[in-house]
Amino acid sequence: MKPEDETNEVYRFFTEVGIINQLISTKLETFLPGRMTATQFGILGHLVRRPDGETPLQLSNAFQVPKTSMTHMLASLENHALITLETNPNDKRSKIARSTPQGTEFLRVCTEQMSEALYPLLSELGSDPFHSSLPNLMLIREALDQERD
Amino acid sequence: MKPEDETNEVYRFFTEVGIINQLISTKLETFLPGRMTATQFGILGHLVRRPDGETPLQLSNAFQVPKTSMTHMLASLENHALITLETNPNDKRSKIARSTPQGTEFLRVCTEQMSEALYPLLSELGSDPFHSSLPNLMLIREALDQERD
DNA sequence: TTAATTTAGTTCGATATCGTACTATCGGAG
DNA sequence: CTCCGATAGTACGATATCGAACTAAATTAA
């Protein structure tokens, strides 16, 4: 394949990623209350899986959003009583975000609704397209992540 | 594999897609002037490849963003003189967006810069991860797209 | 032909995002 | 201990996003 076509393929890859992200975020956001975004929901899921909590900075690295956006998202989740934000005893500059029981329950309910909504898609496609592309996506994500400095 | 693990894999797929989208958009946006977004840049690219132009509605379908967001994005591109917006002679409710020569040139320059910025990534990974996952991404995108109604 | 329905796009208002500049705290060098 | 550069998070302001309600044009029905 010509190098030019390879470059084109990379662009198409990123375009498809953008559209899939758009489609799935929109779909998810119809289940979420008010203006809660897919990213905010992702953060909640991340915290539910980590009972010791994480600092805002760790979260902004994990989701690759600016710290200033993270401040806003965490404040919003805290307003909904889905997480708590305490000062980090080891470093008073820092904080620790943790999921509340309501947060965990909220995640469970939304995830269930989302699974139902995705059921037709999974029956149609099967799990293979997801299964076989996941390792490549992880590879690309890690390389992009590494490069950023 | 258990059905439960399959579901988990699907979620990880969407998470990876979200993070890759975030990383690549941020990277691209550092090359773009002012507050121009990756989506707006994508729209310009779409129009450059279609000399006859497209209507705002076609564009909002292609990129899966609400019409009201498209209005804003097109207005912004028009302000930068990168596109023109004329009323559609076949349907006076409608409009046609077309790239201007400046738009085409602007796209060329930014694409070139982006290609240079992506060069290290491509050398490291090779084109295979992109090449082999693209068909699956297209499959998933088309299914999601179909479903939306 | 007129009236009702549908469709394309915009206006408006609420909220999300994020860059810049700031404050508070930490941790190392002397 | 004291200074100073680095680091965590926030305030603020500009702009992007997008749902709801609207206007105008096209299409369908009667």
Q: Which residues in chain A have their CB less than 8 angstroms from residue B145's CB?
A: 19, 23
Say whether pLDDT at B51 is over 70.
yes
Say whether pLDDT at B147 is over 90.
no
**pLDDT reported for residue B65:** 95
Q: How far apart are CA B101 and CA B82, in angstroms?
A: 8
**pLDDT reported for residue A2:** 64
Q: Which residues pair with B84 in a beta bridge?
A: B98
Q: Do B9 and A127 touch (CB under 8 A)?
A: yes
Residues A28-77 pLDDT 10s: 998 898 889 999 999 999 999 999 999 999 999 999 999 999 999 999 99
**pLDDT reported for residue B31:** 86
**pLDDT reported for residue A47:** 97
Nucleotide nearest to B94 (CA to C1'): C8
Q: Which of A9, A121, A138 sits opposite B144 (nearest CB)?
A: A121
Domains of chain B in sequence order: 31-147 (1.10.10.10)
Say whether pLDDT at A79 is over 70.
yes
Which of the 101-140 residues on chain B come under 7 Å of nucleic strand D at their beta carbon? none
* Minimal CA separation from A25 to chain B, in Å: 9
| Strand D positions within 7 A of protein Cβ atoms | 7-12, 15-21, 24-27
**pLDDT reported for residue B1:** 61
When pLDDT is averaged across residues B12-24 and rounded to a whole number, the result is 92
How wide is the angle at C-alpha A11 spanned by C-alphas A10 and A17, nearest 5°? 90
Say whether pLDDT at B37 is over 80.
yes
When pLDDT is averaged across residues B74-97 and rounded to a whole number, the result is 97
Say whether pLDDT at B50 is over 70.
yes
Q: How far apart are CA B13 and CA A140, in angstroms?
A: 12
